[in-house]
Structure 1
């Protein structure tokens, strides 16, 4: 069952890829512009059941029609991440790459832009890719684990079997590494992907919501921090 809750400041809702969440903040606007709370750790924990301890913060800046991904991290060490667009706009796609998952190969699409502040929370086993819709699109990644060389998973974002709904307005700009990545089925056959069982165990270590189990009650209200 998909879970969601409405806070005064933010809405957190489970996407069609189980265990991945979309975060939509409310904005306070005035003559200066606007302000919003992107997330609170307690709010994220109360809905997802996961503790997200930030160990590394990454930024990427991309030209229009750049496609980055699909990227994931092997287990161990795994890596959960909170991804948001802080400049420009992006078509963000989460992909279930957990071998044995009931939704293996399914994806969820989120439009992100700097105005809305919409973000996505992706636990272990959920691949991530995005298309930059504007020049100078800047994405921020709050990561639970520092990068460990040799643990990154790459899957072809243009895999015809996945058929991700990219809205390209020109030839995609990709790194040589991304362009040479295997398809999802090839990566699975080569043993490169985490299993659903591995991910469920990882979720259990970080809270009770992993693997589709009912998370803790999402009660209480969160007021805005005003600036």
Structure 2
């Protein structure tokens, strides 16, 4: 497994070693011992989630507040997405930075997102199946987010705004500068 730091403190892009032969391929998608050796981080995942989306569906930017913050390990098992992480940890040296990358069933890349960061993605292919592990259980009372089109962050989602498909809840998320502790 190859692990690379991103421009966000504690956020890592991961690429597994893929073994291919005439039958197809195999790879280890997560190894706790190896992950902890390479990153120095301790992680214990407690929940797996999966979402299916069609082209142009944008989910995010979401996060869980306070003690409900979730670290995530995300990947795409079918299709392709543009994945975005925003550091909203006020005490972080990378506060306010964002990182984006393409995750797909072709490149098999994964992204480890530390707790305290906002996360979102948009489906670039006709459809995508997105899978992720969380180190904390979902708490509806701690749910929050940031507007995908926040002018301070100025994220290019690589799909024209008029083609994006969002939930009503995601359309009314607050701006980055309006985040409360």
Residue matched to 2:35? 44
Task: Please say if 1:181 is aligned against 2:178.
Answer: no
In structure 2, the partner of 1:57 is 48
* 5+ long unaligned stretches in structure 1: 1-9, 192-227
Aligned to 2:10: 19
Structure 2: distance between partners of 1:93 and 1:47? 22
Q: Hey, what's the Cα distance between the residues in 2 that align with 1:100 and 1:26?
A: 35
1:113 aligns with 2:104: yes
Larger radius of gyration: 1
Cα pair 1:54 1:144 within 8 Å, conserved? yes
Give the Å deviation of 1:51. 2.3
- Answering whether residue 148 of structure 2 is matched by residue 154 of structure 1, we say no
Match of 2:90 among 90, 95, 99: 99
3-state secondary structure, aligned to 2:140: coil
4+ aligned runs moved over 4 Å, structure 1: none
Shift of 1:139: 0.6
Offset at 1:18?
1.2
> Residue 59 of structure 2 aligns with which residue?
68
Deviation at 1:52, TM superposition (A): 2.0
Specify which structure has the higher proportion of strand: 2
User: Can you list the C-alpha shifts for 1:89-115, whole angstroms capped at 9, x where unaligned?
Assistant: 011111111124332211111111012
Report the count of equivalent residues.
180
Please give the alpha-carbon distance, in whole angstroms, between the structure 1 residues aligned to 2:140 and 2:153. 27
1:131 is paired with a residue whose SS is strand
So what's the TM-score if we normalise by structure 1? Answer: 0.76
